[in-house]
Amino acid sequence: QKEVEQNSGPLSVPEGAIASLNCTYSDRGSQSFFWYRQYSGKSPELIMFIYSNGDKEDGRFTAQLNKASQYVSLLIRDSQPSDSATYLCAVRAGGGNKLTFGTGTQLKVEL
Amino acid sequence: DTAVSQTPKYLVTQMGNDKSIKCEQNLGHDTMYWYKQDSKKFLKIMFSYNNKELIINETVPNRFSPKSPDKAHLNLHINSLELGDSAVYFCASSYSNQPQHFGDGTRLSIL
């Protein structure tokens, strides 16, 4: 079982719709969760981070964390073509610095 | 003005050669990282330094040797390059265990 799992996609949504990206993790000791966006040929860019159960909203982005079920999700409201990218979920266990990444979900927002 | 800068951006070399990649950050962070992203886009931690001290040393061939002369710089030297070393190498930095910020990457191609 992979430590951090994501559906590779591609996930296609129409412009203006809500895109829902999911991530599950295996280490129950994980405490910090991050979403990065990576455009093709570019570097990962931090979008959101969440440490506590529940929802965290930032503009069109909402991160949702459920530690009991060991999943974290990212919702993108009013999806735009510029949101088309690969979204990487990253998990940090305990108080250390090591991030474990999923393989990413490719999102395509279609006109 | 780039917060985390890597040089060179592209590196094309022959098998068996030795090469170095340099990274510098001007964010005042105390922790720096090297990641490898393979052809399937999987991003994996290799090394991390905190205030010049090695704190993460993943299972990486000893042909790879990191060096941190100060907390703003982290270099990666690779000996006897192999075909499997072809990848994008990302440098990242953070303040302690806060979110990590990535450089633009070095695209290494082994002929």
Instruction: Express each pLDDT in A6-34 by its tens digit.
Output: 998 899 999 999 999 999 999 998 999 99
Nearest residue of A to residue B42 by CA position? Answer: A103
Q: Which positions ≥6 away from A98 have C-beta within 8 Å?
A: A92, B45, B48, B56
User: Cβ–Cβ of B50/A104 closer than 8 Å?
Assistant: no
* Model pLDDT, residue B74: 97
* Model pLDDT, residue B1: 64
Interface of B with A (CB under 8 A): 31, 33, 40-45, 48, 50, 55-56, 90, 94, 96-97, 99-105
Q: What is the mean pLDDT of residues B25-42?
A: 94
Distance from CA of B23 to the nearest CA of A (A): 14
Q: Torsion over CA of B15, B74, B67 and B59, rounded to 10 degrees?
A: -70
- Among candidates B66, A110, B77, A48, which has minimal Cα distance to B57? B66
* Model pLDDT, residue B2: 64
- Is A98 touching B (CB cutoff 8 A)? yes
Cβ–Cβ under 8 Å, residues A66 and A48: no
pLDDT band per the 50, 70, 90 thresholds, residue B59 = confident
Q: Is B81 exposed, middle or buried (0-12, 13-18, 19+ CB in 10 A)?
A: buried
Cβ–Cβ under 8 Å, residues B74 and B11: no
Which parts of chain A have pLDDT scores under 50? none
> CA-CA distance, B70 to A51, in Å (whole number)?
30
- Among candidates B2, B1, B55, B3, which has minimal Cα distance to B29? B3
Strands (E), chain A: 4-5, 11-14, 19-25, 30-38, 45-50, 54-58, 61-66, 71-76, 85-93, 99-101, 105-110
